[in-house]
């Protein structure tokens, strides 16, 4: 006599649970891949902080100079450098011979489009979105925050 195997059909409820679990996992992983904020997050800095910012920027630029060759390396800044540290860092990198492409993202990038001079006369062409443009260079970003 041969053994009989009982095959049970998966219930509809278990299929819905697995779809729900997969959806939750994908949403959580998507949140991890979101763009992180960059820049200076110190609120109400002390008057001495401007001097510390200059020293830190000089140290960072010196370390970058030891790791990457000048005159052949381009850095693409990932965010606007509207703090003292970022401005000093960009100036120091440029004076050391590095090419630095500053972030020029408009306030409303949803409506932004880039047109070449040939496109100005041709109104039937489709604009190129800024996200599709590939810049040669290394991405550069920084976070300055205080602990405690």
Domain-wise residue ranges, the chain: 37-144
For range 119-146, the mean pLDDT? 69
For range 7-22, the mean pLDDT? 70
> CA–CA separation, 25 vs 31, rounded Å?
10
**pTM for this structure?**
0.58
CA-to-CA dists, residue 33 to 28, 30, 36, angstroms:
9, 5, 8
Instruction: Report the 10 Å Cβ neighbour count for 76.
Output: 16
The reported pLDDT for the residue numbered 64 is: 96
The reported pLDDT for the residue numbered 49 is: 84
């Amino acid at each position: 006599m041969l053994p009989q195997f009982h095959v049970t059909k998966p219930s509809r409820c278990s299929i819905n649970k697995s779809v729900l679990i997969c959806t939750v996992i994908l949403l959580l992983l998507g949140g991890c891949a979101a763009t992180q904020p960059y820049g200076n997050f110190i609120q109400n800095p002390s008057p001495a902080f401007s001097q510390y910012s200059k020293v830190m920027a000089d140290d960072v630029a010196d370390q970058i100079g030891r790791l990457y060759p000048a005159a052949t390396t381009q850095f693409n800044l990932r965010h606007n450098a509207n703090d003292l540290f970022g401005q000093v860092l960009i100036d120091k990198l440029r004076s050391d011979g590095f090419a630095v492409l500053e972030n020029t993202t408009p306030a409303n990038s949803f409506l932004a489009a880039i047109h070449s001079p040939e496109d100005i006369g041709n109104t039937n062409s489709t604009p190129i979105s800024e996200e599709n443009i590939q810049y040669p260079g290394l991405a550069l970003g920084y976070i300055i925050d205080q602990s405690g």
